[in-house]
């Protein structure tokens, strides 16, 4: 599993170069793109394609090659394989077949952006790409809205405006967002501002909407529970041990007199946050 640069070729590691020069085969997301990359690095290798459309079909053959003694390096177009990129099926199959899986660390857009965002909060959640369809995207954001963790997303340029609008509408426009755009490349841009101002900032310059994005958004503020909220939390704790989430929220609403939607949102947070079990 060999990480490759997300833009600047100088970010390739010496270990990655050594591995790519010595393996029998390189499995690449885009063999033409990777061929150009390795050619610029002075490396000539045999390629096989492994991408989201053929990974299930290509994996058994690669496992056969490795069991026969061949060494295979997996790379994607940029960054670390299997992180919002193909590779997970191959890795899982390798583990199942008893093939040793070796990570060769290096560039990762999410870590790169987070390191430069200046966010003090210690805990963060990497979501990857949100759904492309607007209704599905908003539904996904609703489930994340109450989490107290910094939220990190990838986004493509053709969806950046509508994605940011949905972030503000769903998470609240008082949160800060950091844009990491074209990281390590010539037109790299890192900019932070409140979500309320984000759409206008993007619209003010068409160039700001170009390139690949990492979006880093503040988590929900942690507010001390009122006695009513604590009672609801205690009620849900008991109900969630015995009932499905929707049914627990429905019964909690009847018992406490609190709106069903409020009960449901809190139940979602409690289910997804393991620290609630310790509270």
Which residues constitute the domain of residue 144?
109-217
Indicate if 121 and 211 belong to the same structural domain: yes
Specify the CATH number for the domain of residue 92.
3.40.1010.10
- In percent, the amount of the chain with pLDDT more than 90 equals 87
Whether the predicted model's global pTM rises above the 0.85 cut: no
Indicate if 142 and 86 belong to the same structural domain: no
Q: How far apart (Å, rounded) are the C-alpha atoms in residues 258 and 177?
A: 32
Q: Is residue 146 part of a domain?
A: yes
Q: Is residue 246 part of a domain?
A: yes
Residue 227, pLDDT score? 85
pLDDT at 7 over 60: yes
Indicate if 115 and 85 belong to the same structural domain: no
pLDDT at 275 over 70: no
**Total count of domains within the chain:** 3
Specify the CATH number for the domain of residue 191.
3.30.950.10
Confidence of residue 277 (pLDDT cuts 50, 70, 90): very low
Q: Is residue 4 part of a domain?
A: no
Residue 224, pLDDT score? 62
The 10s digit of each residue's pLDDT in 255-272 is 999 999 889 989 988 887
pLDDT at 212 over 90: yes
Q: Is residue 103 part of a domain?
A: no
Indicate if 118 and 60 belong to the same structural domain: no
- Could you please report the per-residue DSSP string of the chain? -B-B-SS-GGG--HHHHHHHHH-SEEEESSHHHHHHHHHHTT----EEE--TTTHHHHHHHHHHHHHTT--EEEE-SSBSTTSSSS-HHHHHHHHHHT-----B----HHHHHHHTT----S-EEEEEEPPSSHHHHHHHHHHHTT--SEEEEEE-GGGHHHHHHHHHHHH-TTSEEEEEESTTSTT-EEEEEEHHHHHHHHHT-GGGG-S-EEEEEPPPPP-PPPHHHHHHHHHHHHHHTTS-HHHHHHHHHHHH---HHHHHHHHHHHHH-GGGGT-
Confidence of residue 228 (pLDDT cuts 50, 70, 90): confident
Q: What is the dihedral of CA 237, 239, 241, 242, to 10 degrees?
A: 180
Q: Is residue 1 part of a domain?
A: no
Averaged pLDDT for residues 51-63: 96
Task: Among 166, 196, 217, give the residue marking a domain's end.
Answer: 217
């Amino acid at each position: 599993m060999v990480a490759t640069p997300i833009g600047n070729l100088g970010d390739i590691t010496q270990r990655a170069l050594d591995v790519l020069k010595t393996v029998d085969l390189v499995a690449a997301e885009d063999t033409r793109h990777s061929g150009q990359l390795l050619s610029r690095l002075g490396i000539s290798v045999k390629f096989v394609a492994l991408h989201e459309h053929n990974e299930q079909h290509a994996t058994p053959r690669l496992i056969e090659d490795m069991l026969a003694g061949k060494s295979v390096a997996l790379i994607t177009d940029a960054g670390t394989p299997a992180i919002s990129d193909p590779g997970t099926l191959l890795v899982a199959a390798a583990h199942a077949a008893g093939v040793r899986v070796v990570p060769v660390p290096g560039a990762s857009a999410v870590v790169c952006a987070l390191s430069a965002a200046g966010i003090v909060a210690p805990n963060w959640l990497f979501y990857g790409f949100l759904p492309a369809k607007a209704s599905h995207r908003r539904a996904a954001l609703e489930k994340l809205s109450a989490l107290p963790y910094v939220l990190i997303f990838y986004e493509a340029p053709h969806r950046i405006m509508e994605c940011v609008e949905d972030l503000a509408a769903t998470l609240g426009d008082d949160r800060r967002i950091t844009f990491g755009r074209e990281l390590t490349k010539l037109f790299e841009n890192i900019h932070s501002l409140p979500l309320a101002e984000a759409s206008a900032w993007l619209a003010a310059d068409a160039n700001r909407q170009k390139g690949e994005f990492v979006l880093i958004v503040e988590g929900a503020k942690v507010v001390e529970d009122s006695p009513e909220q604590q009672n609801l939390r205690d009620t849900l704790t008991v109900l969630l041990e015995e009932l499905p989430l929707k049914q627990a929220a429905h019964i909690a609403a009847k018992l406490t007199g609190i709106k069903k939607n409020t009960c449901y949102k809190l139940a979602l947070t409690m289910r997804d946050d393991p620290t609630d079990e310790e509270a």
